[in-house]
Amino acid sequence: MNILIVGTGYVGTTTGLVFCEKGHQVTGLDLDEKKIKALKTGKLHFYEPFLDGLLNKHVTNETIKFTKKAKKAIKENDVIFICVGTPKRSDGSADLTYVKNVAESIGKYMTQYKVIVTKSTVPVGTADLVTKWIQESQAEAIPFDVVSNPEFLREGSALQDAFNPDRIVIGTTSEPARKIMRELYQDFSCPILETNPKASEMIKYAANSFLAMKISFINELARVCDVLGININDVSTGMGLDNRIGPQFLKAGMGYGGSCFPKDVNALIQIAKENETTLTILEKVVEVNETQPLIFVEKMKQALGGDLKNKTIALLGLSFKANTDDTRESPSLFLIERLLAEEAKVRVHDPIVKITGPTEQFQTIEETISRADALVICTDWDEYKNIDWASIKPLIGQPYLFDGRNILDKDLMESLGFHYVGVANH
């Protein structure tokens, strides 16, 4: 099939390359000249393990092409995936400006039947809106169908997730569109759920919100376990062994970040409000998440004699999780903001992320921790798990070690003379 992917960000690029691997001819369309230029030469404009190899392969084979020219791209492709961003508005709802622009271009330029698929996470009812926007932009009525087909891949393991999804959700009421979608996904060995567009759109929000809820649950429980001296990791393991609960997304830490969970939980809360209902549980999920990094500030204050003024804090990890260069809604950034408000001096390190601002960033872990009053691990990079703590300890001013991801062995750290504080990592 000839597939057009509109929006060559994280989801769009990965989705396009997966379809290339399945034998389809793909075109990536984006308004951003810089992105298109880079992608045409096989360069990714974001970090994702293994994706650049696949991009190079398909750029060389010409199974994927990139363009800025909407008219030609829309005319030449019969299946169009909308993968543009749906950023958070100030009230928490999703901003559909980019989706609307794409729908209007499709309406303007289409000359024959098309299947338009929304992959971006969009509010319930967006498929109907996309239909309306396309119809309003058409000079004459040409048939088309809109399908909701949400994406569930994670940053850092995008390819693995996109090739081996747990399920594929297809939301449409049109038989011809359903047939095309089935054909597109025939090689995938996972359950395919066929439903209507609204349920499909809700499934994406519900799944992300449920996972966020698991994280906030374990993080809040960690607060109680901390007081009681109980190891939260053991509690997670014990809970996760129950098949009805499952082991995933029960790792206590600094709270969830990234481009999806914070945005989607808020958007679902907003959807409920707009429909005169409330999602009380999700409101609390957000509250727990927002306060999670602050616990570390309090613990640091306690350890360092009451306040952090002029104290040097070395912060390891800026991305919202390991194996990505994404800092959107990263707990590290919230922590930095709080530490600076407390008038601490913040030195930062990350294996790939570079930031500017009122912090000092260093190339090596050794330079970052040099003479620091405390260290805090914010991202679960393997590089931090594998630090030779015995050899770097003499570089640190005071051996206060705050492990926001529970990646270190408490007993080992204490035996090396560190004052270790994890997330109920007893």
User: Residues at the annotated binding site?
Assistant: 30, 35, 86, 121, 152-155, 204, 249-253, 257, 263, 321, 328
Size of the site for ligand UDX (CB under 6 A): 19
C-alpha 130/C-alpha 125 separation (Å) is: 9
Least distance in angstroms from the C-beta of 19 to ligand UDX? 17
Residue 117 — φ and ψ, nearest 5°?
-115, 125
Nearer to ligand UDX, 102 or 153 (CB): 153
- Among 51, 74, 130, 153, which residue interacts with ligand UDX (rule: CB under 6 A)? 153
Cα separation, 424 vs 204, whole angstroms: 31
Sheet holding 168-171, edge to edge: 64-67, 25-29, 2-6, 79-82, 114-118, 144-148, 168-171, 192-195
Please report, in angstroms and rounded to a whole number, the separation of the first and last CA atoms in the chain: 55
Contact assessment for residue 414 and residue 420, using Cβ atoms and an 8 Å cutoff: yes
Q: How far is the CB of 241 from ligand UDX (least distance, A)?
A: 15
Least distance (Å) between residue 176 CB and ligand UDX: 28
Q: Where are the alpha helices (DSSP H) in 185-279?
A: 197-228, 232-240, 261-274
CB of 255 to ligand UDX, least distance (A): 7
Smallest gap, in angstroms, from Cβ of residue 214 to ligand UDX?
Answer: 7
Check residue 151 for interaction with ligand UDX (CB under 6 A). yes
Length of the chain: 426
Of 105 and 332, nearer to ligand UDX (C-beta) is 332
Cβ 212 to ligand UDX, closest distance in Å? 7
Q: Which residues of 240-268 are buried (b: 16+ CB within 10 A; e: fewer)?
A: beeeeeeeebbbbbbbbbbbbbbbbbbbb
**Hey, which residues are catalytic here?**
260
Q: Which residue is nearest to ligand UDX (CB)?
A: 260
Selected binder of ligand UDX within 79, 215, 344, 407 (CB under 6 A): 215
Question: From the list 249, 303, 367, 383, which residue makes contact with ligand UDX (rule: CB under 6 A)?
Answer: 249
CB 95 within 8 A of CB 86: yes
Indicate the residue among 153 and 316 with the shorter CB distance to ligand UDX: 153
Work out which of 256, 384, 400, 418 binds ligand UDX, going by CB under 6 A. 256
Q: Do the beta carbons of residue 127 and residue 274 sit within 8 Å?
A: no
**Among 154, 178, 223, 410, interactor with ligand UDX by CB under 6 A:** 154
Judged by DSSP in three states, 395 sits in helix
Spatial CA neighbour of 87 closest among 208, 266, 335, 269: 266
Please, which of residues 308-347 interact with ligand UDX by CB under 6 A?
Answer: 320-321
Output 73 or 218, the one with its CB closest to ligand UDX: 218
By the rule CB under 6 A, 208 interacts with ligand UDX: yes
Q: Which residues are annotated as a binding site for substrate?
A: 152-155, 204, 249-253, 257, 321
Dist CA 120 CA 151 (whole Å):
7
Shortest Å, Cβ 395 to ligand UDX: 28
Binding of ligand UDX by 403 (CB under 6 A): no
Helices (H), 304-406: 331-341, 365-369, 382-385, 389-392
d(CA 333, CA 245): 31
Neighbour-count burial for 150-164, b at 16+ CB within 10 Å, e otherwise: bbbbebbebbebbee
Closest to ligand UDX by CB, 207 vs 416, is 207
Q: Which stretch binds ligand UDX (CB under 6 A): 126-134, 193-201, 243-251, 350-358?
A: 243-251
Minimum Å distance from CB 211 to ligand UDX?
6
Q: Is 155 in the site for ligand UDX (CB under 6 A)?
A: yes
* Site map (CB under 6 A) of ligand UDX, residues 374-393, x = contact: --------------------
Six token digits for residue 392: 């770097």
Pick 311 or 321: Cβ nearer ligand UDX: 321
**Interatomic CA distance for residues 26 and 20, integer angstroms:** 6
Q: Which stretch binds ligand UDX (CB under 6 A): 14-22, 145-153, 176-184, 186-194?
A: 145-153
Check if the beta carbon of residue 250 is closer than 8 Å to that of residue 240.
Answer: yes
Q: Is 146 helix (H, G, I), strand (E, B) or coil?
A: strand
88 in contact with ligand UDX (CB under 6 A): no
250 near ligand UDX (CB under 6 A):
yes
Residues at the site binding ligand UDX, with contacts judged by CB under 6 A:
151-155, 208, 211, 215, 249-251, 253, 256-258, 260-261, 320-321
